[in-house]
Amino acid sequence: MDRSQPKSLPSALQRLPEFERRLEGKKAAVFLDYDGTLTPIVSRPELAVVTKEMRTVVERLGELCTVAVISGRSRKTVQEFLGLDNVIYAGSHGLDIAGPGGSGLRNDIGREFQQTIDSVHAELSQGIIGIEGALVEHTTYSTTVHYRLVAPEKAHRVEEVVDRVLQGYPSLRKTHGKMVWEIRPRIDWDKGKAVLWILDALGLDSSRALAFYIGDDVTDEDAFRALKGRGVGILVAESPRDTSATHSLRGTKEVQDFLEGMVSLLKARPQS
């Protein structure tokens, strides 16, 4: 096979001194994916609970700079799992954004799709009956079909159900993630657009802030692309893969170490 290997990216952990220089005179904004970034990928979606240590470091970072968690999950689920009230939550791949209480930061862009999603969710739940291990998770303005627990030789049946059901929903599309099919509105909105919207809403343009985005999955690539040339995209992956990120971390432990590094760096610098 003549496939070129994706090149390995510099470790974000080792580049903290460089980020410190790039942050001079600027604010930091840190965007975090949830599953696979703040928690290891688990067999069942309801088990993805963050550790006390990870929660603490995200909370401390939220006291020092803008922190937003952007997930394909429902905003409420991520909010419950993380349980912090000093960060911005964006659920449904950024279709449902809310800042901390009193901030007034809100974008409910997915609302017009609510009924369509409820309906496709019901049809998919019905459709997967009989495929052992398949799960459908309602993620408010999107819905996620999990097949991690489906026998590999039966996984194609899950996609067949998704394709058959989606034929009745021209306003929806499917995207592929880690052992999931994600059903999303067919609109020009993704995690990248959500990141740029949040930065703009907070007046954090690139002359005033350096943005970091940390994520592990395909949908995070939209955010890495959005930050190209104006921020730092950090891929969480054990081994190199094709990506638009510029830096990498090897797993959730390194994510925690990096966030701890950011906390120290932001605490040490003179107040602006």
Catalytic residues: 33
Nearer to Mg ion, 182 or 199 (CB): 182
DSSP E strands: which ranges in the chain?
A: 27-32, 66-70, 88-91, 96-98, 106-107, 135-138, 143-146, 172-177, 180-185, 209-215, 231-236, 247-249
Nearer to Mg ion, 44 or 267 (CB): 44
Binding mask 13-42 for Mg ion (x = CB under 5 A): --------------------x-xx------
By CB under 5 A, name the one of 137, 216, 221, 222 that touches Mg ion: 216
Q: Does 190 bind Mg ion (CB under 5 A)?
A: no
In angstroms, the CA 195 to CA 200 distance is: 9
With contact defined as beta carbons under 8 Å apart, do 235 and 243 qualify? yes
Q: Which stretch binds Mg ion (CB under 5 A): 45-53, 80-88, 138-146, 209-217?
A: 209-217
Q: Which stretch binds Mg ion (CB under 5 A): 83-91, 142-150, 216-224, 259-267?
A: 216-224
Residue linked to tokens 């994916």: 33
Nearer to Mg ion, 57 or 180 (CB): 180
Among 198, 230, 235, 196, smallest CA distance to 215 is for 235
Question: Backbone dihedral region of 170: left (phi > 0), alpha (psi from -120 to 50 degrees) or beta?
Answer: alpha
Cβ 217 to Mg ion, closest distance in Å? 4
Cβ 37 to Mg ion, closest distance in Å? 5
Task: Give residue number: closest CB to Mg ion.
Answer: 36
By CB under 5 A, name the one of 137, 182, 190, 217 that touches Mg ion: 217
Q: Rounded to whole angstroms, what are the CA distances from 25 to 16, 22, 157, 207?
A: 16, 8, 54, 9
Structure tokens at 245: 């990120």
Binding residues for Mg ion, rule: CB under 5 A, are: 33, 35-36, 216-217
